[in-house]
């Protein structure tokens, strides 16, 4: 039996379709703030037999479930303590919930990240933007996802106005990152998908329309696709380092994002431990269902 731990029904539509088609049995453990899964948890009890796929997201608190992530972390602890195989198990929470942890893990394998400073209050944000980057930078939440809190800073005045506006939401963990803005002349970023620790493909994402780059079909509201799959990576040495990172951190599945500046240098700035695949982009590339097939292989081989 496959158990899918998740916080967003829309993000598992394709996976469920695929499992149905392949007659693979699964159950959903939907984790929101009223999650009966956690409430019924018996600490002296034994988890069911099966394989567990953890794909609860760091942005779940923005969809009305403040404690999804904390709750699933507790569940995964329990599963882990009974040696259940969890795809993206215990270790992934640390990376999923903190860009600081992501950057430290990237540095460890020799991957360049944008210059980044940490702020824990508005004054510190304003000072860092001014002193470190002359108010030409980007700020983002440490615990992020779906572009939460990502704001391009272009002047002190507009930054102060933003931080004082009613629309400003402080980061859920109190930590803001003040970061070097990497200008990409061709206006795209690249997201590298790894499954089972191995390279699957890269997705080039058009960034001309903003910072929410969720690649799920459901997130594409414009109809016009901004996703193009590149099968062979133009940066094989970077991919090797990503693979090492996945191995170091027991990451079964992840999507890692980098940006290329005008000099051709790559900067890696985001690791997504739960990733969405764009089926239409896969179809256009002639590799329909490749990602979901690879995940299904993980389910089959990982049940140990
Ligand atoms: N340092 C940066 N320089 C230029 N663009 C950036 C930078 N950081 C983020 N962005 C843009 O903002 C998007 C969202 O930022 P990201 O760090 O991936 O946050 P999230 O975790 O919310 O996806 C990126 O995909 C990219 O388009
Ligand atoms: Mg991102």
| Strands of 198-206's sheet in order across | 227-230, 198-206, 188-195, 253-260, 266-272
Which pLDDT value is given to residue 303?
A: 45
Residue 81 contacts by C-beta under 8 Å, 6 or more apart in sequence? Answer: none
Where does the pLDDT of residue 56 fall: very low under 50, low under 70, confident under 90, or very high at 90 and above?
Answer: confident
Mean pLDDT of the chain, nearest integer: 90
CB 122, CB 163: distance < 8 Å:
yes
Which pLDDT value is given to residue 62?
A: 81
Evaluate if residue 90 carries a pLDDT over 70. yes
Which pLDDT value is given to residue 211?
A: 63
Evaluate if residue 215 carries a pLDDT over 80. no
Which pLDDT value is given to residue 69?
A: 87
Residue ending a domain, among 180, 198, 221, is 180
Higher-confidence position of 263 and 69 = 263
Residues 139 and 270 in one domain: no
Evaluate if residue 38 carries a pLDDT over 70. yes
Residues 252 and 108 in one domain: yes
Average pLDDT over residues 59-81: 87
Count CA atoms within 13 Å of residue 222 on its CB side. 12
Which protein residue's CA is at the shortest distance from atom 15 of ligand 1?
Answer: 147
Residue 257: closest CA among 267, 246, 265: 267
Of all atoms in ligand 1, which is nearest to the CA of residue 191?
Answer: 25
Of all atoms in ligand 1, which is nearest to the CA of residue 213?
Answer: 25
Pocket test for ligand 1, best of 259, 267, 268, 273 (most atoms within 8 A of CB): 259
Query: 65 is in which domain, residue-wise?
Result: 2-89
**What gap in Å lies between CA 251 and CA 55, rounded to an integer?**
12
CB 182, CB 259: distance < 8 Å:
yes
Which residue ranges have their beta carbon within 6 Å of ligand 1? 114, 138, 140, 144-148, 150, 179-182, 189, 207, 211, 213, 257, 259, 269-270
Residues 59 and 173 in one domain: no
- Cα 266 off chain centre by: 19
Where does the pLDDT of residue 8 fall: very low under 50, low under 70, confident under 90, or very high at 90 and above?
Answer: confident
Average pLDDT over residues 247-271: 96
Of all atoms in ligand 1, which is nearest to the CA of residue 182?
Answer: 3
Residues 103 and 207 in one domain: yes
Residues 214 and 99 in one domain: yes
Evaluate if residue 304 carries a pLDDT over 50. no
By mean pLDDT, which of 18-32, 61-75, 281-295 is the weakest? 61-75
Residues 199 and 280 in one domain: yes
**Percentage of the chain lying above the pLDDT 90 cut:** 71
Average pLDDT over residues 127-142: 97
Residues 101 and 236 in one domain: yes
Which pLDDT value is given to residue 65?
A: 80
Which pLDDT value is given to residue 209?
A: 75
**What gap in Å lies between CA 296 and CA 273, rounded to an integer?**
17
């Amino acid at each position: 039996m496959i158990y899918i731990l998740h916080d967003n029904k829309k993000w598992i539509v394709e996976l469920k379709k695929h499992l149905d088609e392949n007659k693979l049995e699964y159950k959903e453990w939907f984790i929101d703030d009223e999650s009966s899964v956690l409430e019924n948890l018996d600490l002296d009890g034994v988890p069911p037999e099966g394989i567990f796929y953890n794909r609860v997201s760091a942005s779940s608190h923005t969809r009305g479930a403040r404690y999804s992530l904390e709750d699933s972390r507790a569940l995964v602890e329990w599963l882990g303590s009974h040696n259940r195989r969890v795809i993206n198990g215990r270790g992934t929470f640390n990376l999923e919930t903190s860009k600081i942890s992501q950057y430290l893990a990237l540095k460890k394998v020799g991957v360049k990240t944008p210059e980044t400073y940490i702020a824990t209050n508005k004054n510190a944000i304003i000072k860092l933007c001014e002193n470190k980057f002359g108010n030409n930078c980007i700020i983002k939440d440490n615990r992020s996802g779906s572009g939460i809190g990502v704001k391009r800073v272009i002047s002190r005045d507009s930054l102060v106005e933003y931080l004082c506006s009613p629309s400003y939401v402080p980061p859920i963990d109190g930590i803001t990152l003040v970061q070097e803005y990497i200008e990409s002349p061709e206006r795209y970023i690249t997201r590298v998908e790894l499954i089972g620790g191995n390279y699957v493909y890269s997705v080039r994402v058009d960034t001309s329309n903003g910072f929410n780059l969720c690649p799920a079909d459901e997130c594409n509201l414009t109809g016009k696709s901004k996703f193009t799959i590149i099968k062979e990576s133009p940066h094989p040495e970077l991919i090797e380092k990503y693979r090492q990172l996945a191995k170091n951190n027991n990451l079964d599945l992840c999507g890692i994002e980098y940006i290329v500046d005008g000099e051709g240098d790559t900067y890696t700035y985001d690791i997504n431990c739960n990733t969405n695949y764009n089926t239409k982009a896969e179809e256009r590339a002639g590799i329909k269902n490749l990602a979901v097939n690879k995940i299904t292989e993980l389910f089959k081989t990982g049940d140990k």
